[in-house]
Structure 1
Amino acid sequence: MTIIQATQQNPANASLPHDQAEKDNFSYFHKETGIDHDGNIYPEAIRHVLLGFYTVAAEEMSTSKQKDEELEAPTPSVKSIVDNIRAWLAPQAEPLSLKDWINKIYNQFHGEATEDKENVAKVAVCAAFLRGKSRLAASTDAKSLSRSAVTEFEMDFIYGVIKAALTSKKTKYYTWGVKRSSQGFVFVSLYTMIDHALPHTPIMEMFRLHVWLPDGHRGNSLLKVHSHTAHGTSWILTGEGTNQLWEVTPTTNSGPNVYALYIPKWHLTVKATTPTTDAAPIEKPDDTDADTGYKHPSVQKSSSLVKTDQLVEIKPTSTHIHNRNESYAIRAGDYHSSEVAGNHVHSTLFFFDAFPSCVDPAPIVGPTDGNIDTVAKREADGITVQDLFGNVNRWRELNEEYDAETKGYKNRKGAREVFPGC
Structure 2
Amino acid sequence: MHLSTILQGLRYVGSALSLSDAEVHAVVLGVIANYPDAAKELSLEEWLQATAFAEIDDRQRHIVNTAIALAHLRESGRRGVSVSAADLERVWLTLKSALQCPSLSWTMTRSAQGLLAIPMWSLIKDGCIDELIRVHIWLPDGVRADPDMAIHLHQPFGQSWILAGKGTDHIFDVTPASEVDATHAEYNVGWKGKDDNKSDQAYKVHSKSSTASNTGKLVRVVPLQKETHSRNMSYCVPAGTFHSSEVEPDALHATIFFFDSSRGYVPDAAVIGPISRELFTHVRKSTDISLFDAVNLVASLRSWEILKDVGLQHAMLGDWEEALRSYRTALHVCKSQPWIDSPRYSHFTLGKVGHMYRMLGLYTQACECLEEAVIDTPMSRTRLGCLGELAVVYRHMNRLQDSKWASQEQYNGAKEFDLEDDVCRAVGTLGMVNCQLYLLTTERELLESAISQLEECVSRAQQLKDVTREAIGHGRLSVCYIAKLDYENAVASGQRSYDLMQLQRDASKISFAGAFFGRTLLLAGRDEEALALFNPSSGCPPVIALCREISDEHRQYIIEIIAAGADLKLRDDHGYTALECAMYNGDHATAKIIEEGLRAQILREGGDVDQQIKQFQYEATLRKGYRDIFQDKLRPVLLQANPDSSSALQSLRKKYAAALTDDLEKQRTFDRLKYVTYSNFLRSNRLPKSNHGYTQYLAHGSPGPSDPFILFFSYRWIAKDVGVQLDGDSPDDFERTQYRRMLRAIELFLNHHPVVDREQLCIWIDFACVDQDHQQPGVASLPMNLAQCNAMISLVDDKYYKRSWCCVEVLMIQTLQKAYGIHVWYEHVIDFARGEEHLRPGPCDLEVNMAEKQVTFEQDRPKLLFLERQTRLLG
Same fold (TM over 0.5): yes
The structural deviation recorded for 1:91 is 4.1
Aligned residue in 2 for 1:383: 289
The question of whether the paired residues in 1 share the 8 Å contact of 2:186 and 2:271 is answered with yes
Does residue 131 in structure 1 map to residue 74 in structure 2?
Answer: yes
* Contact 1:301-1:377 within 8 A present in 2 as well: yes
Counterpart position of 1:78? 23
User: Relative contact order, CA 8 A, sep 6+: which one is greater?
Assistant: 1
Q: 1:90 to 1:303 in 2, by over 3 A?
A: farther
Cα deviation code 1:145-190 (max 9, x no counterpart):
xxx1111111111111111121134xx2x32111111100001110
Counterpart residue type for residue 66 of structure 2? V
**Which residue number corresponds to residue 289 of structure 1?**
198
1:49–1:223 CA distance, 2 compared to 1 (3 A): same
Please name the residue that 1:50 is paired with.
10
Between the aligned partners of 1:222 and 1:395, the Cα distance in structure 2 is: 29
Deviation, structure 1 residue 259: 0.3
Say which SS state the counterpart of residue 375 (structure 1) adopts: strand
Q: Based on CA coordinates, which of the two structures has the bigger radius of gyration? A: 2
Does structure 2 conserve the Cα–Cα contact (< 8 Å) formed by 1:85 and 1:121?
A: no
Counterpart residue number, 1:140? none
Please, which runs of 5 or more residues in structure 2 have no aligned partner? 315-326, 345-875
Q: Which residue type is aligned with residue 384 of structure 1? A: S
Aligned twin of 1:374:
280
Distance 1:132 1:399, change over 3 A: closer
Counterparts in 2 of 1:392 and 1:405: CA distance versus 1, 3 Å: closer
Deviations along 1:178-225, whole A, 9 cap, x unmatched? 1111100001110100111xxxx7211001111111122111011111
Conserved? CA contact 2:190–2:212, under 8 Å: yes
Pairs within 5 Å for 1:7-406: 41-58=1-18, 78-85=23-30, 87-88=32-33, 89=35, 91-109=37-55, 112=57, 115-137=58-80, 148-169=81-102, 172=103, 174-196=104-126, 202-255=128-181, 258-270=183-195, 287-296=196-205, 298=206, 300-370=207-277, 374-400=280-306, 401-402=308-309
Evaluate the alpha carbon distance shift between residue 118 and residue 109 of structure 1 in structure 2; reply closer, same or farther with a 3 A threshold: farther
* SS, match of residue 58 in structure 1: coil
Asked if the contact 1:242/1:319 (under 8 Å) is kept, the reply is: yes
How big is each residue's C-alpha offset from its partner over 1:301-336, in whole Å with a ceiling of 9 and x where there is no partner?
Answer: 111111012111111111101000000000110011
Q: 1:308 to 1:237 in 2, by over 3 A?
A: same
SS of residue matched to 2:285 = coil
Could you tell me which amino acid in structure 2 is paired with residue 314 of structure 1? V
Aligned partners of 2:139 and 2:22: how far apart in 1?
A: 33
Give the match's secondary structure for 1:265.
strand
Cα-to-partner distance string for 1:90-147 (whole Å, 9 max, x where unaligned): 643201010000010111046x3xx11100000100111110111122xxxxxxxxxx
Q: What's the offset of the Cα at 1:421?
A: 2.7
Partners in 2 of 1:349 and 1:207 — Cα distance?
Answer: 7
Question: Helix, strand or coil: the match of 1:338?
Answer: strand
Deviations 1:10-41 (A, max 9, x none): xxxxxxxxxxxxxxxxxxxxxxxxxxxxxxx1
Instruction: Give the corresponding residue for 1:11.
Output: none
Q: Distance in 2 between matches of 1:416 and 1:128?
A: 33
Alpha carbons of structure 1 residues 406 and 246: separation in structure 2 relative to 1, 3 Å = farther
Residue identity in the other structure for 1:177? T
- SS in structure 2 opposite 1:120? helix
SS in 1 for 2:87: helix
Judge conservation of contact 1:177–1:384 (CA < 8 Å) in 2. no
1:109–1:117: 8 Å Cα contact kept in structure 2? no
- Asked whether the equivalents of residues 162 and 232 of structure 2 are also in contact (C-alpha less than 8 Å), the reply is yes
CA distance in 2, matches of 1:333, 1:323: 24
Whether contact under 8 Å (1:235, 1:328) holds in the other structure is yes
1:124 & 1:223 partners in 2: Cα distance?
A: 34
The Cα shift of 1:80 comes to 4.3
Instruction: String of CA shifts for 1:346-372, please: whole Å, max 9, x gaps.
Output: 10011110001100112000000016x
Which whole-Å CA distance do the structure 2 matches of 1:190 and 1:90 have between them?
26
> What RMSD over aligned residues (CA atoms) do the two structures have, in Å?
2.5
- Gaps (5+ residues) in structure 1? 1-40, 62-75, 138-147, 271-286
Deviating 4+ runs (over 4 angstroms): 403-407, 412-417
Which residue matches 2:493? none
Q: Rate the CA distance shift 1:90–1:219 in 2: closer, same or farther, 3 A.
A: farther
Residue 398 of structure 1: how far off its partner (Å): 3.0
The answer to which of 386-395 and 333-342 deviates more is 386-395
Q: Counting strand residues as a fraction of each chain, which structure ranks higher?
A: 1
Q: Does the 8 Å contact 1:245/1:318 carry over to 2?
A: yes
C-alpha deviation, 1:404, in angstroms:
8.7
Shift of 1:383: 3.3
Instruction: Output the CA distance in 2 between the equivalents of 1:120 and 1:81.
Output: 12
Paired letter, 1:294: Y
* TM-score normalised by structure 1 residue count: 0.71
Report if the CA contact (8 A) 1:193-1:203 is conserved. Answer: yes
d(CA) in 2 for partners of 1:363, 1:383: 30
Q: How far apart, CA to CA, are the structure 2 residues paired with 1:237 and 1:82?
A: 28
Per-residue CA deviations over 1:211-251 (Å, capped at 9, x if unaligned) read 11112211101111100000010000000000111111111
TM-score (norm. length: structure 2): 0.35
